[in-house]
Amino acid sequence: MNIGECEGEKNENKFSSLLKYCFLVFACSIVAFGVEVRVVHAENCTIWAWDSVHGWLSNVPIIMDGVPTGFNTPHTFDLGGSDVHSFTVPITDSYGTRFSKWDNGVIDTTLYAANGIYTAQYDATPYDATIWAWENSVNGWLEEPITMDGVATGFSTPHTFTGLTGMHTFTAPETSAFGGSFETWNPPPTLPHNQYGSTTYICSGGTYTAEYEGLPYDVTIWAWNSVNGWLNNLPITMDGILQASTLPHLHRHNWS
Protein backbone atom coordinates (compact mmCIF):
# COMPACT_ATOMS: atom_id res chain seq x y z
CA MET A 1 0.00 0.00 0.00
CA ASN A 2 1.42 3.37 -0.92
CA ILE A 3 1.44 6.45 1.31
CA GLY A 4 -1.56 8.01 -0.45
CA GLU A 5 -3.69 4.90 0.06
CA CYS A 6 -2.61 4.69 3.73
CA GLU A 7 -3.52 8.32 4.35
CA GLY A 8 -6.83 7.80 2.50
CA GLU A 9 -7.71 4.86 4.70
CA LYS A 10 -6.72 6.84 7.81
CA ASN A 11 -8.90 9.81 6.84
CA GLU A 12 -11.83 7.56 5.84
CA ASN A 13 -11.82 5.79 9.21
CA LYS A 14 -11.54 9.07 11.10
CA PHE A 15 -14.40 10.57 9.04
CA SER A 16 -16.59 7.54 9.72
CA SER A 17 -15.92 7.83 13.45
CA LEU A 18 -16.65 11.55 13.35
CA LEU A 19 -20.04 10.91 11.72
CA LYS A 20 -20.93 8.42 14.43
CA TYR A 21 -19.93 10.90 17.09
CA CYS A 22 -22.04 13.67 15.51
CA PHE A 23 -25.11 11.44 15.56
CA LEU A 24 -24.53 10.84 19.26
CA VAL A 25 -24.06 14.51 20.08
CA PHE A 26 -26.81 16.20 18.10
CA ALA A 27 -30.54 15.37 18.01
CA CYS A 28 -33.14 17.22 16.00
CA SER A 29 -36.87 17.31 16.77
CA ILE A 30 -39.56 18.68 14.45
CA VAL A 31 -42.32 20.69 16.18
CA ALA A 32 -45.50 22.29 14.87
CA PHE A 33 -45.26 25.50 12.87
CA GLY A 34 -41.56 25.21 12.35
CA VAL A 35 -38.41 23.26 13.01
CA GLU A 36 -36.70 23.32 16.36
CA VAL A 37 -33.11 22.06 16.58
CA ARG A 38 -32.49 20.74 20.06
CA VAL A 39 -28.87 20.04 21.01
CA VAL A 40 -28.39 17.07 23.30
CA HIS A 41 -24.90 17.16 24.84
CA ALA A 42 -23.90 13.50 24.95
CA GLU A 43 -20.65 13.05 26.89
CA ASN A 44 -18.83 10.39 24.90
CA CYS A 45 -15.09 9.93 24.46
CA THR A 46 -13.63 7.76 21.70
CA ILE A 47 -10.01 6.60 21.94
CA TRP A 48 -8.08 5.51 18.84
CA ALA A 49 -4.43 4.53 18.36
CA TRP A 50 -2.20 4.95 15.30
CA ASP A 51 1.26 3.59 14.48
CA SER A 52 3.36 5.54 11.97
CA VAL A 53 4.43 2.27 10.31
CA HIS A 54 1.54 -0.14 10.86
CA GLY A 55 -1.45 2.23 10.73
CA TRP A 56 -4.54 1.95 12.93
CA LEU A 57 -4.17 -0.23 16.02
CA SER A 58 -6.95 -2.38 17.44
CA ASN A 59 -5.13 -3.90 20.38
CA VAL A 60 -3.95 -0.98 22.54
CA PRO A 61 -5.41 -1.38 26.06
CA ILE A 62 -7.09 1.66 27.59
CA ILE A 63 -6.95 2.69 31.25
CA MET A 64 -9.55 5.16 32.50
CA ASP A 65 -9.08 7.06 35.77
CA GLY A 66 -6.23 4.74 36.70
CA VAL A 67 -8.26 1.54 36.31
CA PRO A 68 -7.94 -0.95 33.40
CA THR A 69 -11.17 -0.88 31.37
CA GLY A 70 -10.76 -4.22 29.59
CA PHE A 71 -11.27 -2.39 26.29
CA ASN A 72 -8.79 -1.85 23.48
CA THR A 73 -8.64 0.86 20.85
CA PRO A 74 -10.82 1.92 19.21
CA HIS A 75 -13.49 2.25 21.87
CA THR A 76 -16.16 4.81 22.76
CA PHE A 77 -16.85 5.48 26.44
CA ASP A 78 -20.28 6.78 27.46
CA LEU A 79 -19.28 9.11 30.28
CA GLY A 80 -22.80 10.21 31.15
CA GLY A 81 -21.72 13.57 32.55
CA SER A 82 -19.44 16.52 32.02
CA ASP A 83 -16.68 15.49 34.43
CA VAL A 84 -13.13 15.25 33.11
CA HIS A 85 -11.65 11.75 33.04
CA SER A 86 -8.13 10.46 32.44
CA PHE A 87 -7.35 8.03 29.62
CA THR A 88 -3.98 6.26 29.60
CA VAL A 89 -2.31 4.10 26.94
CA PRO A 90 0.97 2.11 27.16
CA ILE A 91 4.32 3.77 26.40
CA THR A 92 4.89 1.19 23.61
CA ASP A 93 2.43 -0.56 21.30
CA SER A 94 2.48 -4.24 20.34
CA TYR A 95 5.08 -3.52 17.63
CA GLY A 96 7.47 -1.93 20.13
CA THR A 97 6.90 1.58 18.78
CA ARG A 98 7.06 4.27 21.46
CA PHE A 99 4.14 6.57 22.18
CA SER A 100 4.77 10.06 20.80
CA LYS A 101 1.77 12.30 21.55
CA TRP A 102 -1.99 12.62 21.28
CA ASP A 103 -3.44 14.17 18.14
CA ASN A 104 -4.36 17.31 20.12
CA GLY A 105 -0.67 17.91 20.91
CA VAL A 106 -0.52 16.56 24.50
CA ILE A 107 2.85 14.84 25.04
CA ASP A 108 1.94 12.31 27.73
CA THR A 109 0.51 8.81 27.73
CA THR A 110 -2.30 10.13 29.94
CA LEU A 111 -4.93 12.41 28.43
CA TYR A 112 -7.54 14.37 30.41
CA ALA A 113 -10.80 14.83 28.54
CA ALA A 114 -14.58 15.09 28.99
CA ASN A 115 -15.72 14.29 25.45
CA GLY A 116 -14.43 14.06 21.89
CA ILE A 117 -12.38 11.79 19.65
CA TYR A 118 -8.68 11.38 20.46
CA THR A 119 -5.89 9.38 18.83
CA ALA A 120 -2.79 8.12 20.63
CA GLN A 121 0.05 8.41 18.12
CA TYR A 122 2.99 5.97 18.12
CA ASP A 123 5.87 7.27 16.00
CA ALA A 124 8.96 5.32 14.89
CA THR A 125 10.62 8.34 13.24
CA PRO A 126 14.07 8.95 14.85
CA TYR A 127 15.18 12.39 16.02
CA ASP A 128 18.01 14.08 17.95
CA ALA A 129 17.58 16.26 21.05
CA THR A 130 20.22 18.58 22.56
CA ILE A 131 19.92 19.56 26.23
CA TRP A 132 21.49 22.78 27.53
CA ALA A 133 21.39 24.66 30.85
CA TRP A 134 21.64 28.44 31.28
CA GLU A 135 21.81 30.69 34.33
CA ASN A 136 20.76 34.29 33.84
CA SER A 137 23.86 35.66 35.54
CA VAL A 138 27.61 35.96 35.16
CA ASN A 139 27.72 32.14 35.16
CA GLY A 140 25.96 31.86 31.78
CA TRP A 141 26.02 28.36 30.26
CA LEU A 142 26.10 25.62 32.89
CA GLU A 143 27.27 22.04 33.18
CA GLU A 144 24.38 20.22 34.88
CA PRO A 145 23.56 16.47 35.10
CA ILE A 146 20.78 15.19 32.84
CA THR A 147 18.13 12.63 33.77
CA MET A 148 16.15 10.94 30.97
CA ASP A 149 12.93 9.03 31.59
CA GLY A 150 13.66 9.09 35.31
CA VAL A 151 17.13 7.53 35.00
CA ALA A 152 20.47 9.34 35.37
CA THR A 153 22.22 9.37 31.98
CA GLY A 154 25.75 10.07 33.20
CA PHE A 155 25.86 13.04 30.82
CA SER A 156 25.89 16.72 31.66
CA THR A 157 24.75 19.74 29.67
CA PRO A 158 25.31 20.34 26.88
CA HIS A 159 24.69 16.91 25.39
CA THR A 160 22.94 15.61 22.26
CA PHE A 161 20.87 12.43 22.45
CA THR A 162 20.64 10.81 19.02
CA GLY A 163 18.28 8.30 17.45
CA LEU A 164 15.41 8.90 19.88
CA THR A 165 11.88 7.83 18.99
CA GLY A 166 8.57 8.69 20.62
CA MET A 167 8.09 10.59 23.86
CA HIS A 168 10.88 11.09 26.38
CA THR A 169 11.29 13.14 29.53
CA PHE A 170 14.37 15.14 30.48
CA THR A 171 14.93 16.44 33.99
CA ALA A 172 17.39 19.07 35.18
CA PRO A 173 18.32 19.75 38.84
CA GLU A 174 15.97 22.02 40.79
CA THR A 175 19.01 24.08 41.82
CA SER A 176 22.07 24.84 39.68
CA ALA A 177 25.64 24.17 40.80
CA PHE A 178 25.88 27.86 41.69
CA GLY A 179 22.66 27.94 43.74
CA GLY A 180 20.26 29.39 41.17
CA SER A 181 16.70 28.05 41.28
CA PHE A 182 15.22 26.38 38.21
CA GLU A 183 12.80 28.69 36.37
CA THR A 184 11.59 27.15 33.11
CA TRP A 185 12.41 25.16 30.00
CA ASN A 186 12.91 26.90 26.68
CA PRO A 187 10.82 26.04 24.74
CA PRO A 188 8.31 25.33 27.52
CA PRO A 189 6.65 21.90 27.77
CA THR A 190 3.06 21.49 26.62
CA LEU A 191 0.25 21.81 29.13
CA PRO A 192 -0.06 20.65 31.83
CA HIS A 193 3.67 19.98 32.19
CA ASN A 194 4.70 23.63 31.82
CA GLN A 195 3.26 24.15 35.30
CA TYR A 196 5.36 21.63 37.18
CA GLY A 197 9.00 21.15 38.15
CA SER A 198 12.15 20.83 36.12
CA THR A 199 11.04 18.01 33.80
CA THR A 200 10.23 18.60 30.14
CA TYR A 201 8.33 16.25 27.82
CA ILE A 202 9.49 16.03 24.19
CA CYS A 203 8.68 13.96 21.10
CA SER A 204 10.61 15.74 18.34
CA GLY A 205 14.11 16.95 17.57
CA GLY A 206 15.47 20.29 18.71
CA THR A 207 17.39 22.15 21.40
CA TYR A 208 15.91 22.31 24.90
CA THR A 209 17.38 24.63 27.55
CA ALA A 210 16.86 24.49 31.31
CA GLU A 211 16.93 28.09 32.57
CA TYR A 212 17.88 29.15 36.10
CA GLU A 213 17.37 32.44 37.87
CA GLY A 214 20.43 34.61 38.29
CA LEU A 215 21.99 35.26 41.69
CA PRO A 216 22.76 38.77 42.97
CA TYR A 217 26.35 39.94 42.64
CA ASP A 218 28.36 43.00 43.72
CA VAL A 219 30.21 45.42 41.47
CA THR A 220 32.51 48.15 42.77
CA ILE A 221 33.14 51.08 40.44
CA TRP A 222 36.33 53.16 40.78
CA ALA A 223 37.99 55.83 38.64
CA TRP A 224 41.66 56.78 38.35
CA ASN A 225 43.30 59.86 36.92
CA SER A 226 47.05 59.73 36.16
CA VAL A 227 47.48 63.27 37.58
CA ASN A 228 45.08 63.38 40.51
CA GLY A 229 44.96 59.68 41.42
CA TRP A 230 41.72 58.19 42.67
CA LEU A 231 38.59 60.22 41.93
CA ASN A 232 35.54 60.36 44.12
CA ASN A 233 33.17 62.77 42.48
CA LEU A 234 32.31 61.30 39.07
CA PRO A 235 28.65 60.39 38.35
CA ILE A 236 27.74 56.77 37.59
CA THR A 237 25.39 55.67 34.80
CA MET A 238 24.05 52.11 34.89
CA ASP A 239 22.10 50.63 31.96
CA GLY A 240 21.75 54.13 30.57
CA ILE A 241 20.29 55.56 33.79
CA LEU A 242 22.16 58.15 35.87
CA GLN A 243 22.64 56.93 39.43
CA ALA A 244 22.47 59.06 42.57
CA SER A 245 25.80 57.70 43.76
CA THR A 246 29.25 58.97 42.77
CA LEU A 247 32.58 57.16 42.63
CA PRO A 248 33.72 55.03 44.32
CA HIS A 249 30.58 52.96 44.76
CA LEU A 250 29.63 49.38 45.60
CA HIS A 251 26.52 48.25 43.77
CA ARG A 252 24.57 45.04 44.29
CA HIS A 253 22.82 43.87 41.14
CA ASN A 254 19.99 41.36 40.83
CA TRP A 255 19.54 39.56 37.49
CA SER A 256 16.07 39.60 36.02
Q: Which residues of the chain have pLDDT under 50?
A: 1-4, 6-7, 10, 15, 18-41, 256
Taking CA atoms, 81 is separated from 36, 74, 111, 113, 114, in Å, by 24, 21, 17, 12, 8
d(CA 8, CA 186): 37
Predicted pLDDT of residue 23: 42
Taking CA atoms, 29 is separated from 66, 92, 132, 167, 171, in Å, by 39, 45, 60, 46, 55
For the entire predicted model, the pTM comes to: 0.70
- C-beta atoms surrounding 207 within 10 Å: 13
- Read off the pLDDT of residues 32-57 as tens digits, 9 standing for 90 and up: 333 333 233 458 999 999 999 999 99
Predicted pLDDT of residue 236: 82
Residue type for position 109 = T
Could you give the domains of the chain?
A: 3-122 (2.60.40), 127-212 (2.60.40), 217-253 (no CATH)
Residue type for position 183 = E
- Read off the pLDDT of residues 118-159 as tens digits, 9 standing for 90 and up: 999 999 999 999 999 999 877 899 999 999 999 999 999 999
Predicted pLDDT of residue 189: 86
Predicted pLDDT of residue 80: 81
Give the residue among 54, 92, 46, 107 at the shortest CA–CA distance from 71. Answer: 46
Question: How deeply is 92 buried, as exposed, middle or buried, from its count of CB atoms within 10 A (0-12, 13-18, 19+)?
Answer: middle
Predicted pLDDT of residue 26: 40
